[in-house]
Amino acid sequence: MQVACRPYIFLFVARPETILSSNGRVLTYASPALKAVLEENSRDLGSELHCMTREYAQRQRLITRDIDALHMRISHTESENAQELAAERAKTAAVEAEVARLKHLLGSLITGN
Q: What would the pLDDT profile of 22-79 be if each residue is shown by its tens digit? A: 888 889 999 999 999 999 988 888 889 999 999 998 888 888 888 888 889 999 999 9
pLDDT for residue 68 = 85
pLDDT for residue 29 = 94
| Residues 84, 31: Cα–Cα separation, whole Å | 66
Question: Please, which pLDDT band fits residue 20 given cuts at 50, 70 and 90?
Answer: confident
> pTM for the complete prediction?
0.53
Question: What does the pLDDT average to over 101-106?
Answer: 92
Question: Please, which pLDDT band fits residue 1 given cuts at 50, 70 and 90?
Answer: low
Q: Which pairs from 35-43 meet CB under 8 Å and 24+ separation?
A: 37/8
**Is it the case that residue 109 has pLDDT exceeding 90?**
no
Closest by CA position to 50, among listed 76, 23, 20? 20
pLDDT for residue 113 = 65
**Facing residues of 27 across strands?**
13
